[in-house]
């Protein structure tokens, strides 16, 4: 089933694959799309399938005659979970038997483009040279992303600023016992044509380096700011 997970467009082409040949019109009668209530659906046209990259790939990977592609008549609400139910009673074009059980799939539509978190390192440790990352709700429009809208203080030798998926990543020669501030300007665009608007973030007090019988560890402090609001994070490094 495509799509699953999310976020996705408000009117995506949905594709369900089968292990037998089917009559798309007959199968569509046994499919429901729900967002609280049922939504009217129709078969997708060849042009609509071609224009939807995910659906196009699913259809290309399907056996001829063994898939149905459809979409809702009206756009779905933003930031909403969607349930797609196939069957029971789905007919086959290869014989009289119908499916006895239903299959349920879920995906979500996109919501506002917002900053939702920041991270440094893995496993709770933020070591020197570890990337600093700022995370958003939706995939970033990479064609319109401008690294100059990301500001880092203090400067990091060999700095590189990149974007992938829903994350902005800052890499370079970060040092221990240093607080870094990463500021992302408002107006960051997502792949759905939206721009970040609200000031968002989370705040926490930097904690002191832990004491133990081991050699003392350094601590790399850094704070994340999105759309003008500070978001402080602290992680202990493992450098001794």
- What is the reported pLDDT for 179? 86
Q: Decide if pLDDT at 69 tops 60.
A: yes
Distance CA(84)–CA(87), nearest Å, equals 10
What six digits make up the tokens of 64?
């001829």
Q: Per-residue pLDDT tens for 190-217?
A: 999 999 985 433 322 223 333 332 323 3
Per-residue confidence (pLDDT) for residue 222, from 0 to 100: 54
Domains and CATH numbers, the chain: 5-109 (2.60.40.1220), 115-236 (2.60.40)
CA distances from 115 to 2, 125, 183, 224 (A): 27, 22, 11, 10
Averaged confidence pLDDT in the chain: 84
pLDDT for the residue 125: 77
For position 220, what pLDDT does the model report? 41
Tell me the mean pLDDT in the region 160-184.
91
User: Residue 127 — pLDDT band, cuts 50, 70, 90?
Assistant: confident
Average pLDDT rounded to a whole number, residues 114-135: 85
Residue 93 near residue 65 (C-beta atoms within 8 A): yes
Here the tokens at position 78 are 């933003």
Evaluate if residue 59 carries a pLDDT over 50. Answer: yes
């Amino acid at each position: 089933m495509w799509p699953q997970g999310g976020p996705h467009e408000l009117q995506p082409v949905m594709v369900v694959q089968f292990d037998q040949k089917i009559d798309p019109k007959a199968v569509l009668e046994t499919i429901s799309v729900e967002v609280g209530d049922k939504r009217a659906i129709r078969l997708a046209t060849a042009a609509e399938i071609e224009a939807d990259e995910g659906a196009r790939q699913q259809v290309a990977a399907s056996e001829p005659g063994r898939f149905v592609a459809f979409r809702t008549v009206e756009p779905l609400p933003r930031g909403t979970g969607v349930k797609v139910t196939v069957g029971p009673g789905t007919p086959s074009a290869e014989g009289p038997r119908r499916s006895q059980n239903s299959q349920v799939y879920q995906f979500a539509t996109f919501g506002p483009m917002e900053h939702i978190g920041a991270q440094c390192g893995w496993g709770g440790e933020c070591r020197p040279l570890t990337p600093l990352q700022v995370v958003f709700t939706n995939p970033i429009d990479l064609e319109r992303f401008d690294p100059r809208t990301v500001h880092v203080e203090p400067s990091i030798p060999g700095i590189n600023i990149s974007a992938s998926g829903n994350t902005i990543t800052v890499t370079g020669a970060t040092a221990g016992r240093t607080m870094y501030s990463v500021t992302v300007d408002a107006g960051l665009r997502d792949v759905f044509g939206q721009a970040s608007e609200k000031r968002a973030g989370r705040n926490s007090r930097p904690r002191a380096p832990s004491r133990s019988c081991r050699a003392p560890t350094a601590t790399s402090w850094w704070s994340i700011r999105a759309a003008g609001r500070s978001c402080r994070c602290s992680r202990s490094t493992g450098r001794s």
